[in-house]
Structure 1
Amino acid sequence: MGLFDQIVGAINNPNQEGSDSQLSNILGTVQQLSGNLGGDFGATQAAMSILGGHVRSALQQKREESGSTGTQEIINQFAGTTPNPLAVTSLFSPSQIIDIVQSISEKTGFDVSQVQNLLPTLVPVILNLLKTGNNPQNPEQASNNVLNSFLDADGDGDVDVADVMGMAGRFLGG
């Protein structure tokens, strides 16, 4: 089952945190970022996909170091739709951030400063997508199927958060 299917499942499951309004807020944040960057939604989605791969690797490493509960704590602490530089630094070292910024800049056409300004918003947004699988009665519980699906993907390097955003727009009728 794909990541978007897991998110929709979470939205439809009263025992999970996901909701139409959460997905709508995430999509609205990404659309607003795109507008701030000259309206290039495709480039913003591409940046999210590239960043999604880095977030997956960082969360997989955190899971190896501190277990599923530690990974879930990062999601709970930093998921959102507002900029949070601590979300970025909690996942990535300074040298990783430089590499990520350069990679996104090269592949999207955004200049380095634009990408640096995007990261504190896009990282929490990606974490917020993953938070949809939380159990609202026990958010610390490490049984978040959306997060697990994201982390246990086939490793093909294709973390298409952009596809999730496109499907979210269609799902919400936008």
Structure 2
Amino acid sequence: MSLFFDVLSSINNPNQQGSIDQLSSVMTSVQDLASSQGLNSDQVGSLLNAVGGALQPTLKQQASTFGAGQLEGMLGKLSGAGGAAALTSAIPLQMQQQLIQAVAQKSGLNAGMIQTMLPKLLPVALGLLGMGAAKPGAPSGGNPLLGAFLNAGSPSTTDLGTLMTFASRFLNPPQ
């Protein structure tokens, strides 16, 4: 849940890119991807939790290789319309294969399905983490949301499925 509070902080901080519209867009992308694959909400939550758990060490390794600033730049391209080339520059094919296997094992979903969804799934997850990036022209102190994700001490901090559950409740409060 602490990662969700970091998302809310990025929305409330005028120097960071996070917005309610961006969070809503991420949620819509997740829902569209889930419905295109015939996944129910439990499967989506399990999938996103597995993605978060597998993505964190991958991004941590990339941050140590390239530096946090360059990683943030690559992730910014990937969360936009960078496509397959941006995905490969941020996460090389060998790492993508490891990610697919880890997500398949943790989520219980077919590795082929994960591989098909990866080009859409990763930009969604990274777009969410990119909400903590500094707005253009704002003083940059790094991306605290990405930093919290990379330096997570417990698996619950990388729980993107739980984060999406709270985001859905935030965006659609009970009447």
- Shorter-chain-normalised TM-score: which range? 0.7 to 0.9
Q: Which ranges of structure 2 fall in alignment gaps of 5 or more residues? A: none
Query: Are the structure 2 counterparts of residues 7 and 67 from structure 1 closer, same or farther at C-alpha, using a change threshold of 3 Å?
Result: same
For the residues of structure 2 that align with 1:140 and 1:121, how far apart are their CA atoms? 30
For the residues of structure 1 that align with 2:109 and 2:79, how far apart are their CA atoms? 24
Contact 1:135–1:141 (CA under 8 A) maintained in structure 2 = yes
Give 1:96's aligned residue: 95
Query: Are the structure 2 counterparts of residues 33 and 135 from structure 1 closer, same or farther at C-alpha, using a change threshold of 3 Å?
Result: same
The AA in structure 1 aligned to 2:66 is: S
Give 2:73's aligned residue: 73
1:132 is paired with a residue whose SS is: helix
For the residues of structure 2 that align with 1:25 and 1:164, how far apart are their CA atoms? 14
Give 2:40's aligned residue: 40
Query: Are the structure 2 counterparts of residues 94 and 165 from structure 1 closer, same or farther at C-alpha, using a change threshold of 3 Å?
Result: same
For the residues of structure 1 that align with 2:71 and 2:2, how far apart are their CA atoms? 20
Aligned positions, number: 172
Query: Are the structure 2 counterparts of residues 26 and 73 from structure 1 closer, same or farther at C-alpha, using a change threshold of 3 Å?
Result: same
Percent identical: 30
Contact 1:87–1:123 (CA under 8 A) maintained in structure 2 = no
Q: Does 1:121 find its partner at 2:123?
A: no
Query: Are the structure 2 counterparts of residues 83 and 15 from structure 1 closer, same or farther at C-alpha, using a change threshold of 3 Å?
Result: closer
Between Structure 1 and Structure 2, which shows a larger proportion of helix residues? Answer: 2
For the residues of structure 1 that align with 2:141 and 2:61, how far apart are their CA atoms? 16
The AA in structure 2 aligned to 1:18 is: G
> 1:118 Cα shift?
0.9
Contact 1:83–1:120 (CA under 8 A) maintained in structure 2 = no
Q: Deviations over 1:42-89 (max 9, x none)?
A: 212222221222221122112212222112112211114x79333442
Query: Are the structure 2 counterparts of residues 2 and 20 from structure 1 closer, same or farther at C-alpha, using a change threshold of 3 Å?
Result: same
> 1:95 Cα shift?
3.6
For the residues of structure 1 that align with 2:161 and 2:151, how far apart are their CA atoms? 18
Query: Are the structure 2 counterparts of residues 102 and 54 from structure 1 closer, same or farther at C-alpha, using a change threshold of 3 Å?
Result: closer
TM-score by length of 1: 0.86
Contact 1:69–1:140 (CA under 8 A) maintained in structure 2 = no
Contact 2:23–2:128 (CA under 8 A) maintained in structure 1 = yes
For the residues of structure 2 that align with 1:139 and 1:118, how far apart are their CA atoms? 34
Paired residues for 1:1-174 under 5 Å: 2-80=2-80, 84-138=83-137, 141=140, 143-154=142-153, 156-158=154-156, 159-173=158-172
CA RMSD of aligned residues (A): 2.3
Contact 2:55–2:99 (CA under 8 A) maintained in structure 1 = no
For the residues of structure 1 that align with 2:160 and 2:120, how far apart are their CA atoms? 14
Query: Are the structure 2 counterparts of residues 107 and 66 from structure 1 closer, same or farther at C-alpha, using a change threshold of 3 Å?
Result: closer
Contact 1:3–1:164 (CA under 8 A) maintained in structure 2 = yes
